[in-house]
Structure 1
Amino acid sequence: MAPHRVPRKVGVVGYGRLGQSLVSRLLAQGSGLGLELVFVWNRDPARMAGSVPPALQLHDLSALGERHPDLVVEVAHPKIIHESGAHILHHANLLVGSPSALANQTTEQQLLDASHRWGHAVFVARGALWGTEDISRLDAAGGLQSLRVTMATHPDGFRLEGPLASAHSAGSRTVLYEGPVRGLCPFAPRNSNTMAAAALAAPSLGFDNVIGVLVADLSLVDMHVVDVELRGPPGPTGRNFAVHTHRENPAEPGAVTGSATVAAFWCSLLGCCELPSRPGIQLC
């Protein structure tokens, strides 16, 4: 691949658990992979003190162009994509770690417009979504009729907003939401990213027809469970094609991001560095 199409300089937006892991790996392994960390931004700069070298700390996100990044990795909050996604694309490719932001149609269109205007790619991390390529291939072939993603964890692992913030568990297992993914993302922006990735993997269904189910389960103290169920058209015998995957992801009590998802995101970062920088939105 031509060198100019491979991102080399990387900026990280967000310094929570996922951001810390990415920054640590970039500092330790980046040079051997041809990657250079050029900035880290966090809404609360104090969180970077003592762990991010001062020269790498970016205090004004609007000034990111001064660091000349090739790729900016967002691992903060969907608000960053809403507010700054288009600005980031003016300067670099963007790896979105909060795909729930794209449930907002205005934001999605702004990203697409900026991507095509400046010739930069919008990569979306698949996160905890298992079987992404299979879903996309089935959808592209016209063989996907329904897609349902259920995410279950302990209530302490949720960061809910709006009407869901006051939802209470009734018994050991409670369904907090069941319906189109687009309706869930604004109220569970940090707990619906897997569902949002599924909606992007299946554009024939999209955010309005992929079904998301959010479940509070008191027994899942140290685990996130994601079930993906899809159905295709009936075959010659009349039976429908069907797949059901069940993913158990160890997680620290109260954590939003599971252990395996952290590793998967690093793979997404490396993967998008090998993809061509073409305008548009693509999962990686």
Structure 2
Amino acid sequence: MAEQNLKKVGLLGYGRLGQALATRLLTEGSQHGLELAFVWNRDPRRLQSTLPPALRLPDLGALGDRSPDLVVEVAHPKIIHDFGAQILSHADLLVGSPSALADRDTERQLLEASRKSGHSVFVARGALWGAEDISQLDASGGLQSLRVTMATHPDGFRLEGTFGRGPQEGPRTVLYEGPVRGLCPFAPRNSNTMAAAALAAPSLGFDGVVGVLVSDLSLTDRHVIDVELRGPPGPSGQSFCVRTQRENPAEPGAVTGSATLTTFWGSLLACGSRSTPKPGIQLC
């Protein structure tokens, strides 16, 4: 593909996931019609040793000067809160921190900016298994309840404020069980899979999907995500039910599991291949 036809991709965030995406864009992006336009990070010092100066974006407010086609956020929900609408005035947006959308004002601002600009808001499914099946069942009216349990070692949590700082009650402790909207502000980096589920099932949404956050001392090398969904009772009184369990290998203390890196790359490629933007919020 000719270089002038490559879509320009900007990355916000240069942690483990951001570094993996940058590497793949640099080494094989052109095969997929993509090129890395810039990388921004909250701590710019992290960029200095690994990225050439031309790819570093010092000022997030100046991202429009790089003329991106797609901006990928893999930093923190606060970036979506503070800059999401501004980004959409320049480019499509792939949200890697869907917990940001648990905030009603943020969701409203993104929708308004998307409709005004015509740019799309994509949400990465991340570690959510069966997102399309959940969406289809929800659209057909066959989804009555959805519960997502995320369990990991306590070193893998990045919790806000005093949430979850109590003593470990044995080897396995339930830190939270309730509506996903109530969890996202306190565990913004550990609730993204639950937030993706809330977006996949709009009839339930952030207030109807149940999220369970579990600290498990035995999970030193993986994250475990259980998804349980049920349909309404049928004539016999029995309900349709699906339960899945996803074990995602993870380095000790890592927020992002290894398999999620591959899944996110697939989401990026899917967004980059869209030839016609579609305003609104959509899982990718």
Considering the TM-score relative to the shorter chain, is it more than 0.5? yes
| Pair 1:90-2:89 in alignment | yes
Conserved? CA contact 2:6–2:35, under 8 Å:
no
Matches within 5 A, 1:129-148: 129-148=128-147
Q: Aligned residue for 2:76?
A: 77
Query: Structure 1 stretch 50-59 or stretch 232-241: which is displaced more?
Result: 232-241
Matches within 5 A, 1:104-115: 104-115=103-114
Instruction: State the one-letter code of the partner of 2:242.
Output: V
Aligned alpha-carbon RMSD (Å): 1.1
Matches within 5 A, 1:131-280: 131-275=130-274, 276-280=276-280
Instruction: State the one-letter code of the partner of 2:283.
Output: L
Q: Aligned residue for 2:39?
A: 40
Matches within 5 A, 1:121-132: 121-132=120-131
Instruction: State the one-letter code of the partner of 1:262.
Output: L
SS in 2 for 1:271: helix
Q: How many residues align?
A: 279
1:19-75 deviation per Cα after TM superposition (whole angstroms, max 9, x unaligned): 000000000001121111111000111101121111010000000001000000000
| Pair 1:281-2:281 in alignment | yes
Q: How far is 1:167 from its partner?
A: 2.9
Conserved? CA contact 2:6–2:30, under 8 Å:
no
Conserved? CA contact 2:25–2:35, under 8 Å:
yes
SS in 2 for 1:200: helix
Q: How far is 1:7 from its partner?
A: 7.6
Partners of 1:162 and 1:50 lie apart in 2 by 32
Partners of 1:127 and 1:167 lie apart in 2 by 28
Conserved? CA contact 1:72–1:95, under 8 Å:
yes
SS in 1 for 2:214: strand
1:168-201 deviation per Cα after TM superposition (whole angstroms, max 9, x unaligned): 3110000000000000000000000000000000
Q: How far is 1:272 from its partner?
A: 1.2
Conserved? CA contact 2:164–2:175, under 8 Å:
no
TM-score of the aligned structures, taking structure 2 as reference length? 0.96
Percent of pairs with identical residues: 74
Consecutive aligned runs of 4 or more in structure 1 exceeding 6 Å deviation: none
Unaligned runs of 5+ in 2: none
Partners of 2:45 and 2:226 lie apart in 1 by 38
Partners of 2:18 and 2:134 lie apart in 1 by 28
SS in 2 for 1:216: strand
Q: Aligned residue for 2:55?
A: 56
Instruction: State the one-letter code of the partner of 1:74.
Output: E
Q: Aligned residue for 1:118?
A: 117
Partners of 1:265 and 1:243 lie apart in 2 by 24
Q: How far is 1:165 from its partner?
A: 4.4
Q: How far is 1:228 from its partner?
A: 0.2
Conserved? CA contact 1:148–1:230, under 8 Å:
yes
Query: Structure 1 stretch 95-104 or stretch 272-281: which is displaced more?
Result: 272-281
1:179-236 deviation per Cα after TM superposition (whole angstroms, max 9, x unaligned): 0000000000000000000000000000001000000000000110000000001234
Instruction: State the one-letter code of the partner of 2:222.
Output: M
SS in 1 for 2:64: helix
Instruction: State the one-letter code of the partner of 1:251.
Output: A
Conserved? CA contact 1:153–1:223, under 8 Å:
yes
Conserved? CA contact 1:7–1:71, under 8 Å:
no
Q: How far is 1:163 from its partner?
A: 3.4
Partners of 2:31 and 2:261 lie apart in 1 by 20
Partners of 1:167 and 1:88 lie apart in 2 by 38
TM-score of the aligned structures, taking structure 1 as reference length? 0.96
1:101-126 deviation per Cα after TM superposition (whole angstroms, max 9, x unaligned): 00000000000010001110000000
Q: Aligned residue for 2:27?
A: 28
